[in-house]
Structure 1
């Protein structure tokens, strides 16, 4: 015959200590999550700023090739005129 299993006894103090440990861990996680959310908001603001800067650069870039093409055509016309005058 085997003796009855006495089981495991967890005192109320041990239970309370474990609950406090878990609660403290949760508080730390909430703080870290708040920090992550702040960082994400900052990243979103930076991304929007970079996007607007890129859009402005792209909008201001178009005159350069046009000016180059006009200068090229003007040079070609000047060369033709110079050839015809000789």
Structure 2
């Protein structure tokens, strides 16, 4: 008949199992955090790209109101000129 292992050995085995479980858990958490960091970086790049595109659209749009005002003033001047010459 064999004797059961001493309690110190049982504690050491249980501690080793616990260490393995903890290491596995930390590895899983590390992987999840790395994925979140990667997604955050992708989001930052997308936001920067959208900011650049929006700035380009805003710069390209500024002449439109000025052009509309210029056409309106030209139309007014032509109307006044025609009114003055017609009278």
Q: Answer whether TM exceeds 0.5 for this pair.
A: yes
Q: TM-score range by the shorter chain?
A: 0.7 to 0.9
Length-normalised TM-score, structure 2: 0.83
User: Paired residue for 1:36?
Assistant: 36
> Could you list the runs of 5+ residues in structure 1 that have no partner in the other structure?
1-8
* Greater per-residue helix proportion: 2
Q: How far is 1:15 from its partner?
A: 1.0
CA deviation string 1:53-83 (max 9, x = no partner):
0110111111101110101101100110121
Shift of 1:36: 0.9
TM-score, scaled to structure 1: 0.84
Q: What are the equivalent positions in structure 2 for 1:52-67 lying under 5 Å apart?
A: 52-67=52-67
How far off is 1:20 after superposition? Answer: 0.9
| Equivalent in the alignment of 1:12 | 12
Structure 1 stretches of 4+ with a deviation exceeding 6 A read: none
Q: Is 1:71 the counterpart of 2:71 in the alignment?
A: yes
Aligned-residue RMSD, C-alpha: 1.4
Match of 2:4 in 1: none
Shift of 1:45: 0.9
